[in-house]
A and B are shown apart, each in its own frame.
Chain A
Amino acid sequence: MNQSFAYLKKQPWVWSFAAALAVWLITIAYTEGQGATAILTAALSFATFTIIVGLGQMMVITTGPGNVDLSIPATITLSGVVAMKVMDEQTAMIIPGIVAALGAATLVGIFNYGLIRLLRIPPIIATLSSSFLILSTAISYGRGIRIKPPLPLSDFATARIFGVPLSAILVLVISIGLAVVLKRTVYGRSVLAVGQNMRAAWLAGMNVDRTRFATYVLSAFFSGICGIVLSGFSGGAALNMGEEFLLASIATVVIGGTSVAGGRANVPGIWGAALFMYLLVTMLNTFGASAGVRLILTGLMIIGVIVAAGGEEQR
């Protein structure tokens, strides 16, 4: 018992789950138990979107200092707009729509890494500037028009099995897959090695370029999935649908215990962090806190969890 507790305490992801649980308990204590499961279901459905882009961001950040993908919001929007426009409310066009949207997202990833590698632009600048191009493409392609998703897609995005959202199960499968990839495949080990020391990884004979390239494409691809499911979930694509995911994707990675310096990834932490962030806003909304108070408390609590989770890592 003591041993397993000590083991748990060392896992950086425990803190984000503990924080999420604490916030949930406080909320239902305040409402006197009313809506306890409904809050959890809502948290699972909305956290799903943050988790999927958080996983992509986690992989990018793990490839080492300076690596970050700021084009996630724009890619979500582009993928949503492309998917809705190609589908045009027809069930038969769902598959072509998904293919087109994921194709567009993949192109974004290739373009991002092209800027970083060929033009030697730092990732933070490269992905920020490419996000302007991507958003402009989405605007000129969609002209701000909101097209509804075909019925089967929105049914899928909002479906639940025993109260658990189907999209959450999909993302759970992706998460487990990614955890296995990180632990057991050459690509996964390469990502960690490159993140710990790019030069050492290169000297050890790893293909650093291919690893980083695949990671940026993977992040864009995950943003693409998020864009499609989110448009299905919320009844269409909108130009500002990706906006809130920039900070959220980075915050979940950091709160979840992934090392910002790279080289260490943490898949379960992304789940805990995404649930924590959603439940935190729910709690403050339930308390009736004003927007200013809410932002201050959100900031303070995020700092608190990061300090708690990262306390032992300082060497």
Chain B
Amino acid sequence: MFKKTLACTIALAAMLAAGSAMADTKDKKIALSNNYAGNSWRQAMLKSWDKVTKPAVEAGIVAAADPFTTSENQVTEQAAQIQNLILQGYNAIVINAASPDALNGVVKQACDAGIVVVSFDGIVTEPCAWRIAVDFKAMGASEVEYLAKKMPEGGNLLEIRGLAGVFVDDEISKGINETVAKYPQFKIVGSVHGDWAQEVAQKAVAGILPSLPEVKAVVTQGGDGYGAAQAFAAAGRPTPLIIMGNRQDELQWWKEQKDANKYETMSVSIAPGVSTLAFWVAQMILDGKEVPKDLTVPFLRIDQDNLEASLATTEKGGVANVEYTAEDAAKVVAGK
């Protein structure tokens, strides 16, 4: 009896060690609940999901991996959508949530129904769910750290923030402001909301620029760097060092400046392919693997020397991206 159990355990352990994803999840269904699709980042996120999950379904790793997006970026609508997904009998729901706490009720319902809930990007705080979070504060801090190294003499900074009232905007801005406080040679002389959109950023920067003294650098949140560059050009002011956010138009502009006058900056943002990491994490949990509830994904940074390589792999009009394989996901889970 003991021998048999031992043999079983060893067999199981061997199977787990081999990382064979086929084992238990071939009849499991995973759903993606997404709250918004109206910008290029979200479009890239959905595209990555399709690109990785379709082959996974064909290979029989899971039975289904269907994406669902709500039309209005609203909590009530997403809650109703998740309730439908529970009734439809999905085994796992991967969520990009409209709110960190307003969906907790319905997430709890899903957990109680025995469904694995994995949230990413827009995470939920309900303890029964898994969270794949980005350290946005560290992302903001990294921008200022870069500037401190690049221009030790310091200078005036213009901050472009994201969408007011959103958790991500507060976190990145906190990271930027706290780090600026550490380097007294920098001073934020203006702060505008660019809503992560080029048009809005361009408009806001054009408005505040005439009233500002010389700006040495612009700290951003992604999706706003190109608009800022255009506003500076339109005002006839020298182009400052603008931190970019991995959008193709931003990288393209950076490349043109680099070729023309050796312009130097860096670019940082979250890869939309984080949705595929969430997919593999959900699959691993369904497979019975031990996964910690809180995971952190690294952000994707592009520097002067890998600009060309990143630009070449970024689709025209898209966002620099990385998609995750099952092995990559296993590494993130193991904390490497």
Contacts and interface: CB of A to CB of B under 8 A. Distances in A.
Given A34-B211, A39-B211, A238-B198, A146 B40 contact: yes
Sorted nearest first, the 10 A-B pairs with minimum C-beta distance are A35-B210, A144-B43, A145-B317, A291-B164, A146-B317, A38-B210, A282-B207, A31-B211, A144-B40, A42-B206
Contacts of A286: 190, 208, 211
Given A144-B43, A144-B318, A147-B316, A285 B199 contact: no
Interface string A214-238: 0000000000000000100011101
A91 interface: no
B165 A291 contact: yes
Contact of A241 (B161, B193, B197, B204): B197
A240 B317 contact: no
Interface residues of A, number: 41
A288 B191 contact: yes
A32 to B, nearest CB: 9
A132 B230 CA distance: 31
Nearest to B229: A235
Contacts of A278: 203, 207
Interface of B: 37-40, 42-44, 47, 71, 161, 164-165, 190-193, 195, 197-200, 202-204, 206-211, 226-227, 230, 234-235, 247-249, 315-318
A187 B317 CA distance: 43
Given A42-B210, A238-B199, A282-B207, A292 B164 contact: yes
Given A38-B235, A234-B230, A285-B208, A147 B38 contact: no
B211 A146 contact: no
Nearest to B46: A144
B101 to A, nearest CB: 20
B286 to A, nearest CB: 30
A45 interface: yes
B222 to A, nearest CB: 13
A62 interface: no
Interface in A246-299: 278, 281-282, 285-286, 288, 291-292, 295
Given A146-B317, A292-B164, A235 B37 contact: no
Given A46-B203, A145-B315, A139 B37 contact: yes
A145 B318 CA distance: 6
Nearest to A89: B316
B193 A144 contact: no
